[in-house]
């Protein structure tokens, strides 16, 4: 029997309905959640993602601002823009689209964002809070994956999760969230010897490498939950993941499609973090009135 598909679009629509209710509740206190998306330059892929994020905000009723800077913008200009939004009470979430042009220091730029507005979860405060077990903002992609596992009641305690890829935005925070949910976690990277040996042990396999179709059916344990975080644009324009979907679907127990899997969930969790930030700002305001 082929794998059960984990539909990220469908789950997103359920979660977005819940968000609309939360947004109405903060609206009752005179608040409207606001997100600014800052894009430097005009990379075509980044432009598409940014547009999708703005559209998703409109869809649920989050106020959004698109701040587009030229590719030649200086670090000082970008830091000034971030500072202005740090000080802007109509904005609770600040996202700087990555990757940045090479002349800009992404680390420095991320640290300039006020921690309470870091809806990407990339700031050192967010990372430290995540690792020590009191998350402020969970990075959107791993957070979305956790919601997908939860929606399908996939048991995590004592499960062996194997994460392929160790980036700061996906692999590392993914491993931390799975660990905190009680999984035994293996993190593989590009230097791992005999990758298939590790992936075949996985009850839950997370592919976050950025190589089209690199996880093949012989690397998957029968019945495993396979989560495909990859988004690779092929020369013919087709979008594929890191998992060879057409062979793995006959081995895996659960599988996420690309498109329509983790991608839409990433955006939904960005909306969730923005609403969360607005709820906290609202609560702080109410507390100060007492």
Instruction: Show which residues are catalytic.
Output: 53, 97, 120
Q: Report which residue's Cβ sits closest to Mg ion.
A: 140
Q: Smallest distance, Å, CB 266 to ligand GUE?
A: 4
SS3 per-residue string spanning 153-220: CCCCCCCEEEEECCCCCCHHHHHHHHHHCCCEEEEECCCCCCHHHHHCCCCEEEECCCCCCCECHHHC
Binding mask 103-142 for Mg ion (x = CB under 5 A): -------------------------------------xx-
Beta bridge partners, 205, equal 162, 226
> Of the candidates 206, 264, 213, which has an alpha carbon nearest to the alpha carbon of residue 242?
213
Annotated binding site for NADP(+): 165-167, 231
- Residue from 140, 149, 163, 188 that binds ligand GUE (CB under 6 A)? 140
Count residues contacting ligand GUE (CB under 6 A)?
18
Each residue 227-266 as x (binds ligand GUE by CB under 6 A) or -, in order, gives ----x-------x------------------xxx--xx-x
* Pick from 249, 164, 243: nearest CA to 199: 164
Q: How far apart are CA 119 and CA 138, in angstroms?
A: 8
Structure tokens at 39: 């894009």
Q: What is the DSSP letter of 248?
A: H
Q: Which is nearer to ligand GUE, 31 or 245 (CB)?
A: 245
Q: Is 176 in the site for Mg ion (CB under 5 A)?
A: no
Binding residues for ligand GUE, per CB under 6 A?
A: 48-49, 52, 95-98, 120, 140, 231, 239, 258-260, 263-264, 266-267
């Amino acid at each position: 029997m082929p794998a059960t598909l984990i539909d990220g679009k469908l789950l997103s629509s359920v979660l977005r309905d819940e968000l609309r209710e939360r947004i109405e509740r903060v609206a009752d206190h005179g608040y409207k959640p606001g997100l600014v998306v800052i894009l430097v330059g005009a990379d075509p892929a980044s432009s598409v993602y940014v547009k999708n994020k703005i559209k998703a905000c409109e869809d649920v009723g989050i106020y959004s601002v698109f701040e587009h800077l030229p590719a030649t913008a200086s670090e000082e200009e970008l830091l000034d823009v971030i500072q202005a939004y740090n000080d802007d009470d109509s904005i609770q979430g600040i996202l700087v689209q990555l990757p940045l042009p090479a002349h800009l220091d992404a680390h420095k730029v991320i640290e300039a964002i006020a921690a309470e507005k870091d809806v990407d979860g990339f700031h050192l405060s967010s990372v430290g809070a995540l690792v020590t077990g009191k998350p402020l903002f969970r990075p959107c992609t791993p957070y979305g994956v956790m919601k997908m596992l939860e929606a399908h009641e996939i048991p995590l305690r004592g499960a062996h999760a194997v994460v392929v890829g160790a980036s700061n935005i996906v692999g590392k925070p993914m491993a931390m969230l799975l660990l905190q949910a009680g999984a035994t976690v293996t993190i593989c990277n590009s230097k791992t010897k005999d990758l298939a040996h590790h992936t075949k042990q996985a009850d839950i396999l997370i592919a976050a490498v950025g190589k089209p179709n690199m996880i093949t059916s012989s690397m998957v344990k029968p019945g495993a939950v396979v989560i495909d975080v990859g988004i690779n644009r092929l020369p013919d324009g087709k979008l594929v993941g890191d998992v060879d979907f057409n062979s793995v679907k006959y081995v895996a127990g659960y599988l996420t499609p690309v498109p329509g899997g983790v991608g839409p969930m990433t955006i939904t969790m960005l909306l969730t973090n923005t609403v969360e930030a607005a709820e906290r700002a609202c609560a702080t305001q109410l507390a100060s009135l007492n």
